[in-house]
Structure 1
Amino acid sequence: MFPIRDHNPSEKVAFVTYALIILNISVFILTVTVFQTDRDLAKLYWHYALIPDRLSSGDNPLALITSQFLHGGFLHLAGNMLFLWIFGDNMEEEMGHVGFLLFYLAAGVGAGLAQYASAPSSNVPMIGASGAIAGVMGAYLLFFPKAQVDVLIIIIFFFRIIPIPAWIVLGVWFGLQLFSGVGDSGQAGGVAYWAHAGGFLVGIALALPRWLRKGATAFWSRTDGHPPHPEARYTRIDSRIPTVRRRK
């Protein structure tokens, strides 16, 4: 089940969102072309990834920022950039370009600290933009809970795009991060679940003052929980695999 787009894209150019996507892709290309050996990657991660044990020693706090722009593989990068593309433009339009950039980086720092708190003596490097993007998703949930998000459902040869309210998509995602984090403390399984969950909550907390100034639930009443734009028209995509009906 993969979110692929929302129904209310922003009407203004999301310069910061696009710049972040380009920057992350550029850093990834540089990483795979220049740092090709395990030794090279180890040096890269030592200097720029977030390593909790080093942070506990007061060493390299800047890694809370630099780690947000490193990715461990193409799928890691692609998944993060897809989520940023879906949810980032509306939040950038809501917060403004500079405000959104500061929010994004702060959410990423909060996510890194959440992962650090789960295992402060860990030597496992943490990399990726997912914590910052989780913050964007948390803010999106607060501002636009009823926005329709198209989700691609894939079951073997069956696939279909189904619109689902954002509060369900994001709520289920957050619940999975909490559930997975309880059973995988310290990123032992290769995924920083506590960074995801922490970033999500930090994003809500950072966006809360602006939401309250907008009128809180009165803001939802005015917008019906959707971004204030006309709904986009998308061509429906269904599976061409014929449905096999059960015989009576």
Structure 2
Amino acid sequence: MFPIRDHNPSGRVPYVTYALIAANIGIFLSLLPISGDENAMAQFYYDWALLPRRIMEADGYTALLTSQFLHGGFMHIAGNMLFLWIFGDNVEDEMGHLPFLAFYLATGTLSGLAHVVADPNSLVPTVGASGAIAGVMGSYLLLFPKAKVDILLIFIIIFRIISIPSWIMLMVWFGMQFIGGIGATPDTGGVAYWAHAGGFVAGIILTLPLWLRRGGPDFWRATHGQPPHPEAKYAVPSSIPKVKRK
């Protein structure tokens, strides 16, 4: 299952979220001319991607930031930008534009450090905005646990869109990262599960001061965990049309 939208409209234009999406897509497209050159890409990733071994050797610290804006393929960037588009606007709305930007980059950096701690000897380049976006998702969980999220549920041949509270979707996602991290084989590439989990936890922790300023548990009681704005209503039914066989 994966989310396709939420029912949580933003109170103001999320300029930073849009700018981050544009920056990620722009950088990805700018690298397409050299994407078929293995030597050029290897050198580029060495210079700008996160390599835990380099961090442990006190080198390549800038990669904790630059790696957040690199992606390994079309599906990688498409999935990340979808999650950022769904959850980023509401967190930015609550934090403000510049604080949200600082929060995003901080959680991305902390998620990178979590990956380094989990696999310190790895020389496999790690790229992607997933850790920072995981931080946004952790923040969303704390601020809007009962906001409705529409997810596309795929089970063998069944395709259906259903609405569930955000806390269910986000906790299932976090659980998958935790389980994946336990079962992952070090230094083989693939998904950086501990970076995702670390970013998620960092997002919750860094959002705690804002949540407490809003009243903490009183904020939840006042809003019932729902969005602070009227819930979005979608005219189209939340289901995939059935196709009959001949």
| TM-score between both structures, scaled by the size of structure 2 | 0.95
Go from structure 1 to structure 2 and tell me whether the alpha carbon gap of 1:101 and 1:187 turns closer, same or farther (over 3 Å shift): farther
Q: Residue 128 of structure 1: CA displacement?
A: 0.1
Q: Distance in 2 between matches of 1:13 and 1:34?
A: 35
2:162/2:239 contact within 8 Å kept: no
Q: CA deviation at 1:153?
A: 1.2
1:239 shift after superposition: 2.9
**What is the SS of the residue equivalent to 1:231?**
coil
Query: What's the CA shift string for 1:70-109, capped at 9, x where partnerless?
Result: 0000000000000000000000000000000000000000
Q: How does 1:136-175 map to 2 (within 5 A)?
A: 136-175=136-175
Q: CA separation in 2, counterparts of 1:24 and 1:220?
A: 34
Could you say what secondary structure the match of 1:42 adopts?
A: helix
Shift in CA distance, 102/185, structure 1 to aligned 2, threshold 3 Å? farther
Q: Is the CA contact (8 Å cut-off) linking 1:158 and 1:241 kept in structure 2?
A: no
Check if 1:223 corresponds to 2:223: yes
Deviation at 1:213, TM superposition (A): 1.4
Could you tell me how far 1:243 is from its partner in structure 2? 8.3
**Unpaired stretches in structure 1, ≥5 consecutive residues:** none
Provide the residue aligned with 1:241 in structure 2: 242
Whole-Å separation in 1 of the counterparts to 2:113 and 2:185: 14
Equivalent residue, structure 2, for 1:51: 51
1:18-167 superposed matches below 5 A: 18-167=18-167
One-letter identity of the residue aligned with 2:190: G
Asked if 1:182 is matched to 2:182, the reply is yes
One-letter amino acid matched to 2:241: R
State the percentage of identical aligned residues. 58
Flag the 1:19–1:187 CA change in 2: closer, same or farther, 3 A.
farther
Contact 1:118 1:185 in 2 (8 A): no
RMSD: 1.5
Aligned partner of residue 164 in structure 1, secondary structure:
strand
- Counterpart-to-counterpart distance in 1, 2:39 and 2:89: 38
- How many residues were matched structurally? 244
Contact 2:108–2:131, Cα closer than 8 Å, also in 1: yes
1:116 partner SS: helix
Relative to structure 1, the CA distance from residue 208 to residue 186 in structure 2 (aligned partners, 3 Å threshold; closer, same or farther) is farther
Of the structure 1 ranges 227-236 and 30-39, higher mean CA displacement relative to structure 2 is found in 30-39
In 2 relative to 1, CA 187–160 (structure 1 residues): closer, same or farther, beyond 3 Å? farther
Letter in 1 for 2:180: S
Is the 2:123–2:187 Cα contact (8 Å) retained in structure 1? no
Q: Secondary structure of the equivalent of 1:36?
A: coil
3-state SS, counterpart of residue 36 of structure 2? coil
Summarize deviations over 1:124-175 as a string: whole Å, max 9, x none.
1110000000000000000100000000112344322100001100000000
Give the partner amino acid of 1:16.
Answer: V
TM-score (norm 1): 0.95
Counterpart code for 2:239 = D
Q: In 1, are the aligned partners of 2:8 and 2:229 still within 8 Å (CA)?
A: yes
